[in-house]
């Protein structure tokens, strides 16, 4: 942490350290000069005080100058004063500059020490020094530990003698140096505190501003959830690499990757779980792409990869396998876990485009084909997909127009009793006019409606229209409708059905709903409650396409079904002569009856099929053998008339039989 701080602010730290060092050095330099001046002043003051003592009493001065009748007490008193002034020694010179007394000699110090009576050497003052007029002091060695001072002794304007003193300033010098050091350190500390704290606050604020700027720049170029490149930055970087590839002849591929079923994860487990799936998936994708490749999040559940150095289609297959292998692992969401399912579409450069816009468009078309067909691990774009895309756009436009202008139609296919004699009801099948007198089949427009979010509005219209039509037909007939899993997600399905029944004025028994295995896979309490609420309205809840799902048998006791519909693929297999089909049909019908469920068989196209199912006790039959899906007006003209006549004939035959029985009894 400290290393990073120093690395980020090294210039500021060097500048601050330099300033502090300069201030400290300047303080020491100025302090040293001040100490020298203080010592010099102190030495001069002490010397002057001693000189004033000598001049004040003629007997004292004469004693040292002449040596005649020198009173030992005078010398002792003078030495005491000199010692109190920290004099190392002092000497007196007469007016001619000859030495008359000295407390010691540097030359003979080892021998004489500082004996009473002093000594006299042959030392003389220089003529230049003595020629100075008035009072003066000549200092020598002021910066050293024992400086010396020479000065005249003047009384009443007359120079009587000269005094030379050497002062021991070692202790003073040490005290001054310690005081100077403390003062310098205090100054540096004050400077550091006074300037350092604001500097640290400034640097911290500056760093926060830099981090904020870095974050803004990062978010400008990256997705906040996954930390991958965002769509804009991916566009720029891809176009830059594509521009250079024109010179290098490098082949590249742009992948469009979709996380299937993310909206269902958000609806079932919450937005946070969906975000976690995206984060983990992004991390796994980052691990399998090459370092030179580009990876970005380009949509709510979409990623894009620019694969470089594509030498052949084998390179595409290898990356697709790595992506699918890396992402097909469970993701822990706390109480649940999910395995992401990815769809992959890819377009290559230069075959399918030379810009990001062209490549991403074609890769997305390949992805749509992959989601629709699921023929392999990935789908490579080809030109025919552009035509398919145009067709899908046309159908989507017709879908929007049909929703806005009530342009859908319901066709009705009859459902009859197991013996084929009585009409029980119809299955409502939605159709969308193509504008040219024909119809677009549901298998074409329903996937587009689901992908574009139109399916709930379409389903609500179907419920209302089927209820309205049921009200116009005989009371004993029901209409069965297919519901999408999407219609259960918002939790308002029951209220939509109630409204349709109320507006049509029919009871719930006149409607049946058919659900498929994809809905049952969720097994949520909310879906179960909605199914139970529909049953409480009297509506029959049917399991559609039974026998095509590997786990369908388990649903028969988990969900509140009234009826199951055997998928028409069984009839096709029976017609082709496949073995064991009849035994399987008998088993399914028997199982359903033991569970208290009715059975409807779809896809009946021959009398043989109808007879077989009747022999197994199948409750209801549906297929082209009894009638194709047709508009409501044709149902009234053909189906209702046909079965009404057959019902009347059946009642007449029953009446005749009863009459014969009555006659025989009377006879």
Rounded Cα distance between 358 and 2, Å, is 50
> Given its phi and psi angles, is residue 174 left (phi above 0), alpha (psi -120 to 50 degrees) or beta?
alpha
Q: How confident is the model at residue 440, as a pLDDT? A: 87
Q: Are 63 and 71 in contact (CB under 8 A)?
A: yes
DSSP 8-class letter at 192: I
Nearest-10 crossing angle of helices 10-56, 58-66: 90
- Helical H runs in 251-329? 262-269, 271-288, 313-327
Place of tokens 């810009």: 355
β-bridge pairing 540-546 and 563-566: parallel
**Average pLDDT for runs of 10 along the chain of length 667:** 62 70 69 74 83 82 69 78 81 84 58 51 76 80 74 85 83 75 76 72 77 77 90 91 84 93 85 92 93 92 93 91 92 87 91 89 88 80 78 84 87 93 93 86 84 86 94 93 86 93 95 81 74 92 76 66 89 86 92 92 92 94 91 79 57 45 41
Helices 72-84 + 10-56 axis angle, to 10? 160
Structure tokens, 658: 């009863």
pLDDT value of residue 83: 80
> What is the enclosing helix (H) or strand (E) of 411?
strand 409-417
φ/ψ of residue 249, rounded to 5: 65, 25
Residue owning tokens 């007196």: 92
Tokens 């549906």: give the residue: 622
Taking each helix axis as running N to C, give the angle between helix 607-615 and helix 581-594, from 0 to 180 degrees, rounded to the nearest 10.
40
Q: Which residues pair with 427 in a beta bridge?
A: 413, 480
The answer to whether 630 and 411 have CB atoms below 8 angstroms apart is: yes
DSSP letter at 597 equals -
pLDDT tens-digit readout, 150-193: 888 888 888 888 888 888 777 777 777 777 778 777 777 777 77
């Amino acid at each position: 942490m400290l290393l990073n701080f120093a690395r980020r602010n090294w210039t500021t730290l060097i500048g601050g350290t330099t300033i502090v060092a300069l201030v400290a050095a300047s303080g020491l330099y100025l302090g040293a000069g001040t100490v020298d001046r203080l010592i010099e002043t102190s030495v001069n003051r002490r010397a002057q005080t001693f000189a004033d003592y000598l001049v004040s009493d003629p007997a004292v001065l004469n004693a040292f100058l002449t040596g005649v009748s020198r009173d030992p007490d005078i010398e002792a008193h003078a030495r005491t004063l000199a010692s109190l002034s920290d004099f190392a020694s002092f000497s007196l010179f007469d007016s001619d500059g000859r030495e008359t007394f000295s407390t010691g000699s540097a030359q003979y110090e080892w021998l004489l020490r500082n004996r009473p009576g002093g000594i006299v050497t042959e030392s003389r003052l220089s003529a230049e020094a003595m020629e100075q007029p008035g009072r003066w002091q000549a200092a020598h060695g002021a910066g050293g530990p024992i400086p010396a001072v020479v000065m005249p002794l003047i009384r009443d304007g007359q120079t009587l003698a000269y005094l030379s003193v050497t002062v021991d300033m070692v202790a003073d010098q040490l005290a001054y140096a310690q005081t100077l050091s403390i003062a310098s350190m205090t100054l540096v500390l004050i400077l550091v505190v006074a300037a350092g704290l604001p500097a640290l606050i400034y640097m911290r604020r500056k760093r926060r501003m830099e981090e904020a700027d870095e974050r803004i720049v990062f978010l400008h170029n990256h997705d906040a959830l996954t930390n991958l490149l965002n769509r804009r930055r991916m566009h720029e970087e891809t176009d830059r690499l594509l521009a250079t590839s024109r010179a290098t002849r490098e082949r590249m591929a742009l992948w469009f990757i979709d996380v299937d079923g993310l909206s269902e994860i958000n609806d079932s487990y919450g937005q946070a779980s969906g975000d976690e799936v995206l984060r983990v998936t992004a991390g796994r994708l980052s691990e399998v792409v090459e370092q030179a490749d580009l990876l970005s999040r380009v949509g709510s559940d979409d990623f894009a990869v620019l694969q470089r150095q594509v030498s052949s289609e084998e390179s595409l297959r290898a990356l697709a396998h790595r992506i699918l292998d890396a992402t097909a692992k469970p993701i822990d969401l706390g109480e649940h876990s999910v395995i992401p399912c990815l769809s992959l579409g890819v377009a290559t450069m230069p075959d399918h485009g030379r810009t990001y816009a062209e490549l991403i468009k074609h890769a997305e078309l390949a992805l749509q084909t992959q989601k629709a067909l699921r023929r392999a691990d990935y789908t490579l774009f080809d030109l025919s997909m552009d035509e398919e895309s145009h067709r899908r756009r046309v159908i989507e436009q017709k879908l929007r127009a049909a929703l806005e202008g009530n342009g859908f139609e319901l066709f009705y296919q009859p459902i009859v009793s197991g013996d084929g004699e009585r009409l029980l009801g119809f299955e409502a099948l939605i159709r969308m006019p193509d504008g040219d007198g024909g119809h677009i089949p549901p298998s074409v427009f329903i996937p587009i409606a689901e992908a574009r979010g139109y399916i709930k509005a379409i389903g609500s219209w179907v419920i209302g229209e089927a209820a309205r039509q049921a009200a116009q037909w005989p009371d004993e007939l029901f209409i069965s409708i297919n519901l999408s899993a999407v219609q259960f997600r918002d939790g308002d399905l029951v209220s939509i059905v109630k409204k349709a029944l109320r507006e049509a004025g029919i009871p719930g028994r006149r409607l049946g709903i058919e659900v498929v295995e994809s809905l049952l896979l969720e097994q949520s309490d909310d879906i179960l409650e909605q199914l139970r609420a529909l049953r409480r309205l009297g509506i029959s809840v049917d399991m559609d396409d039974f026998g095509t799902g590997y786990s369908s048998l388990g649903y028969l006791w988990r969900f509140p079904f009234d009826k199951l519909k055997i998928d028409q693929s069984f009839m096709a297999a029976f017609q082709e002569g496949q073995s064991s089909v009849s035994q399987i049909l008998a088993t399914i019908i028997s199982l359903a009856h033991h569970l208290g469920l009715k059975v409807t068989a779809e896809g009946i196209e021959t009398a043989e099929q109808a007879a077989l199912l009747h022999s197994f006790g199948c409750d209801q039959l549906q297929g082209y053998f009894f009638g194709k899906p047709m508009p409501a007006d044709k149902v009234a003209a053909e189906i209702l008339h046909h079965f009404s006549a057959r019902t009347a004939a059946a009642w007449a035959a029953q009446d005749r039989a009863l009459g014969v029985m009555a006659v025989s009894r009377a006879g």
